[in-house]
Amino acid sequence: MSSIRHPKITFWRTVVAIIFLAGAYAAYARFALGFEQSTHLADSQPWGLWVGLGTLCGVGISAGGFALAAAVYLLGFERYRPVIRAAVLLSFLGYLSVIVGMMYELGLPWRIWHPIVMWNRRSVLFEVSWCVMLYTTVLSLEFSPSLVEKIPWVRVRDLYLKWHHQILIGLVLIGAILSSLHQSFLGGLYLLAKGKVDPLWYSSYLPTLFYLSAVPAGISATIMAVYLCNRSLNARVDPRLLSEMSQIIAPMLYVYALLRGVDVVTHGGAGYLFRWREETLLFWFEIALFVIAPVILLSQSKVRNNPNTLYGTCALVVMGFMANRLNVSITAFQASSGFYYVPKWTEFALTLATVTAAGVAFHYAVKYLEILPRSVPAKNWMTTHPATA
């Protein structure tokens, strides 16, 4: 090629560039100026948006990978195989973004390795950190064939893929258990804050509730991702497959709602359900978004079978899920701390930039690797003879 091709300036590229610029400044503020200049965190709200949105939502929305991997490889739902790679990739990038988030969330990020050698088995956070480390390793192994099959050296490639095939079932099984453990333990973190967490959210069943809400959110996010790939990356996944996949969401939300309802009442939240206060309003906002609206919408085949409305409904589930995590981590602490935490714009900017980076990586992975069946074959990157695993 003699001429250099300049990238075209498009709307989305501009948006992404602005987000990255804002994120770069926020990162500068965090690392060169400190927490005080880059966040509105305080002693009475030591965990804010970075934990609530970055970590809790990041991990939760990444639950699709283990759920679909278990469904396809362990339970034999072969028909979901076309989306399995997309689900695993989404989870992998989700966990990577959570780990990147840790780098600015922790006060001393260069010590992020400490939990490997310094153990406290009584700490829920210790268990979470180990599960996240191990599961990210599992995800990278689950995802690895997408990259390895592009290696031009056939021998190495085949050797790796053969080995991978042998350990895959074990990986999926370990991954499902690790995920289940730390998805619930993220809720378990808040058990210790009894007396600080509002009765509408505190419960000794927080671990179970976190787990039961993460799975439908993860599946919804996977449906959204595949829909977007169908729409703008020439992916050709049968929309009926997505519609079928969405049928599991409503039953999961029913179970969640039932447990949550019983739980709120038995844990002393009943008296707060209909009080005129911000927490109660946000509670109902969360319930409406996460449970009521999706359950009604998903019960109609008209909504499920139209890819656009299905996408919108899944977006509601994901947003409702995010509302729940932000409520647990921020809203629920307001009354007890007497501190009204509103995140600083730099907190939003850094989280948004991290998520956007994951989105951009997802985009290019789908474009250049064999992640989803596509009408336009993947660009011949590295090798012209990609193996299929």
Partner 1 sequence: MARSKAILIDITKCIGCLSCEAACKQLHGFAQDPEPKLSTTAFTIVEQHGDRFVRRMCMNCQDPACASACLVGALKKMELGPVTYDSSKCIGCRYCLVACPFNVPRYQWAKLVPFVTKCDMCYARQAKGEQPACVEACPVQASIVGWRDEILEEAQKRILTDSKYVKRIYGSEEVGGTSVFYISDIPFEQLGFASLQSQPMPVLTANALGDIPTVVMVGGGLLAGLYWITNRRKLVALAEAEESAAESRTGKDPHHV
Nearer to partner 1, 73 or 92 (CB): 73
Burial readout 24-50 (b: 16 or more C-beta within 10 A, e: otherwise):
ebbbebbeeeebeebbbbeeebebbbb
Give the shortest CB-247-to-partner 1 separation in angstroms: 20
Give the shortest CB-32-to-partner 1 separation in angstroms: 8
Question: H helices within 267-306, ranges in order?
Answer: 278-287, 293-298, 301-305
CB–CB of 187/211 below 8 Å? yes
Nearer to partner 1, 26 or 314 (CB): 26
CA 96/CA 58 separation, integer angstroms? 9
Nearer to partner 1, 49 or 235 (CB): 49
Give the shortest CB-25-to-partner 1 separation in angstroms: 17
- Provide the token pair at 288: 């409406």
Give the shortest CB-102-to-partner 1 separation in angstroms: 9
Nearer to partner 1, 193 or 293 (CB): 193
- Provide the token pair at 331: 């809203």
Rg (CA), the chain: 21
Give the shortest CB-165-to-partner 1 separation in angstroms: 14
Nearer to partner 1, 162 or 194 (CB): 194
Nearer to partner 1, 46 or 268 (CB): 46
Measuring CA to CA, which residue among 142, 129, 2 is closest to residue 65?
A: 142
CA atoms within 13 A on the CB side of 97: 31
CA 229/CA 364 separation, integer angstroms? 11
Give the shortest CB-252-to-partner 1 separation in angstroms: 17
- Provide the token pair at 266: 């038995």
Give the shortest CB-132-to-partner 1 separation in angstroms: 11
* Residue 145: Cβ within 10 Å count: 22
Give the shortest CB-34-to-partner 1 separation in angstroms: 5
Q: How far is CA 193 from the centre of its chain?
A: 24
- Residue in this structure with the two tokens 């307001």, named with its chain if needed: 334
Nearer to partner 1, 12 or 31 (CB): 31
Sort 1 into a burial class: Cβ within 10 Å, 0-12 / 13-18 / 19+.
exposed
Nearer to partner 1, 35 or 272 (CB): 35
CA 58/CA 161 separation, integer angstroms? 29
Please give the residue ranges that form the binding site for partner 1 (CB under 8 A). 31-36, 39, 41-44, 46-47, 70, 73-76, 106-109, 111-112, 114-115, 118-127, 129, 169, 173, 176-177, 180-181, 184-185, 188-196, 204, 207
CB–CB of 200/283 below 8 Å? yes
